[in-house]
Amino acid sequence: MKAARGRPTKAAIDVNRCEYWDCEEAVPATHFLCLQHYQLHQDNLINKCQSCGKFKDAKYELCLPCRKKIRATPVPRTLKQAAHPSVERNTQLTDDLSDDFYVYILKLDGGEYYVGQTADLRTRIMEHRDGEVATTAGKNPSLIWFDFARSRQEALQLEEHVKHLKDANLRTFRGLILRFGDLVREVGR
């Protein structure tokens, strides 16, 4: 567990924790979200998880821990075969509502790289991590770079470009990853 960050809290005023699922920011007793997450709430970008009531990305029904719990529960075969209509509608919805498409690079065990594109980066990365994608299964895939595109077409083009770099210009490809990682660490401090 991470230590609480931010300003030291003043004396013994009543203090809440921000209710965003992984935020540990302390907030005054009259608040339920930290400033950053309150702003996201105002913008309708976050809302409550339907399972635990913590705040999460509004694009999804569940926060990540709840989603993980549900994925860990094996789905009976019969249910898988006859997908409920609402399940299909949801999948459709995710794609339609998605503003962005993503191109991403995974680092695999043994120094290999995998380049892919998706309309739902979070779900896709979890599928990779859960071993549901044959190419990366058992290879400890970790996300080391991503960029977004405004349409599937644009994403496919960017994916082609990044794959080409990987095969034909490994130095530029590695530079891309290096700068991205440095930036995240630098800014995330």
Say how many C-beta atoms besides its own lie within 10 A of residue 133's C-beta.
Answer: 17
Q: Rounded to the nearest 5 degrees, what angle is found at the Cα of 103, between the Cα atoms of 43 and 175?
A: 110
Least gap, CB of 50 to Zn ion (angstroms): 8
Angle formed by the axes of helices 170-187 and 152-168, nearest 10°? 120
Least gap, CB of 44 to Zn ion (angstroms): 16
20 binds Zn ion (CB under 5 A): yes
Least gap, CB of 3 to Zn ion (angstroms): 15
The only residue of 26, 46, 66, 149 in contact with Zn ion, by rule CB under 5 A: 66
**Reading across the β-sheet that carries 142-149, which strands appear in turn?**
113-118, 101-107, 142-149
Least gap, CB of 19 to Zn ion (angstroms): 8
Q: How far apart are CA 43 and CA 175, in angstroms?
A: 35
DSSP H or E run through 142: strand 142-149
Q: Which range of residues in 58-66, 76-84, 119-127, 142-150 is near Zn ion by CB under 5 A? A: 58-66
Q: Which residues pair with 28 in a beta bridge?
A: 15
25 binds Zn ion (CB under 5 A): yes
63 binds Zn ion (CB under 5 A): yes
Site for Zn ion in 34-53 (CB under 5 A): 34, 37, 49, 51-52
Decide whether 34 or 106 has the Cβ nearer to Zn ion.
34
Decide whether 171 or 189 has the Cβ nearer to Zn ion.
189
Least gap, CB of 53 to Zn ion (angstroms): 7
Q: How far apart are CA 163 and CA 173, in angstroms?
A: 9
Instruction: Answer for the pair 4, 26: CB distance below 8 angstroms, yes or no.
Output: yes
For binding to Zn ion (CB under 5 A), which residues are involved?
18, 20, 23, 25, 34, 37, 49, 51-52, 63, 66
